[in-house]
Amino acid sequence: MRKVAIMGVGMTKFGPTEKSQVELFAEAAMEAINASNIKTKDVQALFLGNGLGDFEEGQLNLAGFCANELGLPPETTAMRFEGACASASVAIRNAFLLVASGAYDIVVAGGTERAFSMGTSLATRTFAMGTDSKYEEFSGLTFPGVFAMLAHLYANKYNIPLPKLKERMAMVAVKNHKNGAKNPLAQFQKEITVETVLKGFVVADPLQLFDCCPFSDGGAAVVITTDEIAKKHVEKPVYILGAGQGSAGSLCRQKDYTIMPSRIASAKQAYKMAGVGPKDINMAEVHDCFTIAEIVLLENLGFYDFGTASEAVEKGETEIGGKIAINPSGGLKAKGHPVGATGAAQVYEIVKQLRGECGARQVENAKIGMTDTLGGDAGTIVNLILGIQK
Amino acid sequence: MVTYKLPHKEFNEALKSGKLMGFKCNSCGAYTCPPKINCNECASMDMEVVEFKGRAEIKSYTIIRVSPEGFESEVPYIVALAQLEEGPNLVGNLVGVDPDKVTDEIIGIKVKIGWKPAPPEVKYCGPIGKDGKIKPEMVAITFSLM
C-alpha cells in the first residue's frame, strides 16, 4: 500500500442556497483543485457522495455531470457513492484505498446535497428512507425518532435521570454552536444557551428543535493523492493514516444500539491501520446529527467508557482546549448537514486544523484528528484518522 | 438455487391475518423476526418457519410530533422498540395509548403485536405497485397493551 495524502480541500458555505448540486460541488472541487496546485486534467477519478439528489432535483448520474462541469478528461472515472449521511466519507475512503493500491494517482472526492431546499416535510420523509422500508418505515419512524428512542434507552440503561441527560445533551448543542459561531462557513454562526435548547418545540420526545441538526445545502471536496505527488505540490500534506468502515441492518436487528457494533468495528479498523488508539486522538469531527448521538458515539469510538460521556460533556472536556476537542467546526449541529457532503466537510475541518488555519476555533498543538460519519441508523459507518506526520 | 422461505409479502399477509411469523434456527436455536435469508445470530440457512407468540416488552419509545410527508394526519403518534418473548426486537407503533400522556413508565410494559394500514397519503415507501400506490400488504407493526 502506498502512503496517501490530502492536498487541497474546499467547501461552500453550508445553509440555504439557490445553487444546484452540480454548482455546489463545482465550487468546492475547484477550490480543492486550485489549492492543490494541479490542473483539472491531472485528476483521474471523481468520487461523489450524494444521498438524495434524485428527490432534490430529479437528477440521477450526478458524478458524470460533475466531472464534465470541472472539465475532467473523458477517461475520468466518475462515480456516485451512496451510504445515506455517510456518503462522502464512503467516497473518500474508497479514493484512499484506490490511491493506496496504485489504481489512481489523483482523485477528487467529496459530496453535494440540497436537503434544505426540499422543505421539512419531504426532507423528513426522504431522510427516513434510510430506515428499513419493508418493516419499519410504515410506523412513521423519523431520524429524530431513532435518536429519541436512543436517548430513552441510554437514560434507562445508565440510570441517568432524563432531565439530567437532557441538560447534558443541551450542552452538546451549546458547545457546537459556540464553535460554529467562529466558523464563517457554518449555517448557524450564533451562540445559544441551555435554556434555548430546553425551550425549543418537541420534534420527537425527548428531542427538541435544538437537539437536532438542520437540513442543509452545500458541497465539499478534497484532493487525494500519493505522498510523493503531494510533497511536490503543497507545503503541508495531511496524511490519511487509517480508515475503517462498518455495516449494520435495520434498527430492530441491532438490539441495544447504545453500543453500535458497526461503529466499533469501523473505528477499530481505523485505529489498527493508523497504529494509534483513542488516547492519541487530539480532536475529532463526529456525527452529531442529534445531541444524544454525539454522547453515544464518544463511547463507541473509545474516547470514554460506556455511560460516562454525558458527564464529560458537562465538565467541558469536549470543548476546544478540553481533553479532546469534539466538533471544532460546529459539527452537523451548527455547521450544517448537507448529507452527501458531510463527511468531506469533516475532513476539510481536520485538514485545516492540522495546518493551523482555523483562526478563532483553532485547536492548539493538534497532531492527529479523526472523523466519524454515520449513515442511516448505523447501517454505514466510516472513520478516518488524519495526521501531519506519516 | 436459493429460495427465500418467508418473503415480506407473506410475512405481512400473515401479520394481517393475526399471525406473527418468523424463523427458529436449527443450528443455534435463535429466533429471527422479521424474516431474513438466514439466521440473524449465526447466519445459518437451516431455519424453520414458526409462528411467534406475538408478545413483547417495550424497550424504548418516542412521540413523533414532526412527521414525514404523508404521516401528518397521524401526529402525534408513538413509535416504539419492543423485544419479543422469543428474543428479536421489532419497531412499530404503540397504539391505544394517549401520546400526550405517555411517560417513561411505559418502558417494560408487556404488549401484543398487531398491525395497522399505512396512511393513504404515504408515498415512496416499500415496494410500489404499477398504479404507483403502496401495495396493500405493506402495513405498520403495532404494539397494544395486554
Residue A184 belongs to domain with CATH number: 3.40.47.10
Any CB–CB contact under 8 A between B27 and chain A? Answer: no
Q: Which of the residues A66, A85, A213, A358 is marked catalytic?
A: A85
pLDDT value of position B23: 98
pLDDT at A123: 87
What pLDDT sits at residue B94?
98
Mark whether A220 and A247 lie in a shared domain. Answer: no
Q: Note the pLDDT of residue B134.
A: 81
Residue A226 lies in a domain: yes
The reply to whether A28 and A48 lie within a common domain is yes
Beta carbon pairs, A and B, within 8 Å: 124
Q: Quote the minimal CA–CA distance from B90 to chain A in Å.
A: 5
pTM of the model: 0.97
Give the one of A133, A145, A204 whose C-beta lies nearest to B126's C-beta: A133
Contacts of A207 in chain B (CB under 8 A): 62
Give phi and psi for A176, each to the nearest 5.
-70, -35
- In sequence order, what DSSP letters do the residues of A89-136 get, joined into one string? HHHHHHHHHHHHHTS-SEEEEEEEEE-GGG-HHHHHHHHGGGS-TTTT
The C-alpha atoms of residue A332 and residue A188 are separated, in whole angstroms, by 10
Output the furthest CA–CA distance in chain B (Å, rounded). 52
Is A85 a catalytic site residue?
yes
> Which of A129, A140, A155 lies nearest to residue B64, judging by beta carbons?
A140
Residues A228 and A250 in one domain: no
Q: Across the interface, do A149 and B70 touch by the CB < 8 Å criterion?
A: no
Q: Judged by CB atoms within 8 Å, which residues 233-272 of A form the interface with B? A: 250-255
* pLDDT at B137 (0 to 100): 82
Q: What is the pLDDT of residues A106-156, one digit of tens each?
A: 999 999 999 998 888 888 888 888 899 999 999 999 999 999 999 999 999
Rounded Cα distance between A6 and A14, Å, is: 22
Distance CA A141, CA B63 (A): 10
Q: Which residues contact A297 (CB under 8 A, 6 or more apart)?
A: A260, A263, A286, A287, A288, A372, A374
CA dihedral B99, B104, B108, B111 (to 10 degrees): 0
**What is the residue whose three cell numbers read 393475526?**
B18
Tell me whether residues A124 and B122 touch, CB distance under 8 A: no
**Among B51, B55, B42, B54, CA closest to B6:** B51
Question: Is residue A326 a part of any domain in this protein?
Answer: yes
Cell digits of residue A214: 438542520
Per-residue pLDDT of chain A (390 residues; tens, 9 = 90+): 999 999 999 999 999 999 999 999 999 999 999 999 999 999 999 999 999 999 999 999 999 999 999 999 999 999 999 999 999 999 999 999 999 999 999 999 999 999 998 888 888 888 888 899 999 999 999 999 999 999 999 999 999 999 999 999 999 999 999 999 999 999 999 999 999 999 999 999 999 999 999 999 999 999 999 999 999 999 999 999 999 999 999 999 988 999 999 999 999 999 999 999 999 999 999 999 999 999 999 999 999 999 999 999 999 999 999 999 999 999 999 999 999 999 999 999 999 999 999 999 999 999 999 999 999 999 999 999 999 987
User: Is residue A371 a part of any domain in this protein?
Assistant: yes
Q: Using CA atoms, how far apart are residues A148 and A143, in angstroms rounded to an integer?
A: 8
Task: Give the dihedral of Cα atoms B40, B45, B49, B55; nearest 10 deg.
Answer: -10
Which residues from B are below 8 Å from A162, CB to CB?
Answer: 104
Q: Do B140 and A140 touch (CB under 8 A)?
A: yes
Q: Are residues A165 and A310 in the same domain?
A: yes
Report residue A174 as a C-alpha cell: 451549546
Contact flag A120-B66 (C-beta cutoff 8 Å): yes
Task: Say how far apart CA A320 and CA A336 lie, in whole Å.
Answer: 19
Q: Residue A314: phi, psi to the nearest 5?
A: -60, -35
One domain for residues A255 and A166: yes
**Which three-class secondary structure string do you get for A137-177?**
HHHCCCHHHHHHHHHHHHHHHCCCCHHHHHHHHHHHHHHHH
In a domain, A126, yes or no: no
B34 touches chain A (CB under 8 A): yes
- Give B-chain residues touching A211 at CB under 8 angstroms: none
Is residue A49 domain-resident?
yes
Q: Where are the beta strands (DSSP E) in chain B?
A: 21-25, 31-32, 47-51, 55-64, 77-84, 89-95, 110-117, 139-145
Give residues 62 to 101 of B whose Cβ lies within 8 Å of A.
Answer: 62-72, 74, 77, 79-81, 88-93
Contact of A139 with chain B, judged by CB distance below 8 Å, is answered with yes
> CA A94 to CA A96: how far, in whole Å?
5
Structural domain boundaries enclosing A168: 131-213+242-387
Using a CB-CB cut-off of 8 Å, the residues of chain B touching A140 are: 64, 67-68, 71, 74, 77, 79, 93, 119, 140
Let me know whether A112 and A178 are in one domain: no
pLDDT of the residue at A68:
97
Indicate the number of domains in chain A: 2
Is A337 among the catalytic positions? Answer: yes
Partners of residue B62 in chain A, C-beta under 8 Å? 144-145, 148-149, 152, 204-207
Cα-based torsion angle of the residue sequence A329, A332, A338, A339 in order, rounded to the nearest 10 degrees:
120
Is the Cβ of B126 closer than 8 Å to some Cβ of chain A? Answer: yes
- Asked if A63 and A125 touch (Cβ cutoff 8 Å), the reply is no
pLDDT digits (tens, 9 = 90+) for A200-254: 999 999 999 999 999 999 999 999 999 999 999 999 999 999 999 999 999 999 8
Copy the grid coordinates of residue A387: 495526521
Residues A62 and A185 in one domain: no
Residues A304 and A174 in one domain: yes
Determine the length of chain B. Answer: 146
Query: Using a CB-CB distance cutoff of 8 angstroms, which residues of chain B are in contact with residue A201?
Result: 65
Q: Can you tell me the distance from the alpha carbon of A239 to that of A5, in angstroms, rounded to the nearest whole number?
A: 4
Q: Are residues A80 and A221 in the same domain?
A: yes
Q: Which of A381, A84, A342, A376 is nearest to A243 (CA)?
A: A381
ipTM here: 0.96
Regarding whether A157 and A53 lie in a shared domain, the answer is no
Do residues A91 and A147 share a domain? no
C-alpha–C-alpha distance, residues B82 and A202, integer Å: 23
Say which of A177, A233, A287, A337 is annotated catalytic: A337
Q: Which helix (H) or strand (E) holds A22?
A: helix A21-35
Residues A254 and A279 in one domain: yes
| pLDDT tens per residue across span B57-93 | 999 999 999 998 889 999 999 999 999 999 999 999 9
How far is residue B92's CA from residue B85's CA, in Å, rounded to a whole number?
16
What is the tens place of the pLDDT at every residue in B102-143? 999 999 999 999 999 988 888 777 777 777 778 888 899 999
Which stretch of DSSP H or E encloses residue A4?
Answer: strand A4-11
Query: How many Cβ atoms from other residues are within 10 Å of residue A367's Cβ?
Result: 13
| A382 close contact with B: CB closer than 8 A | no
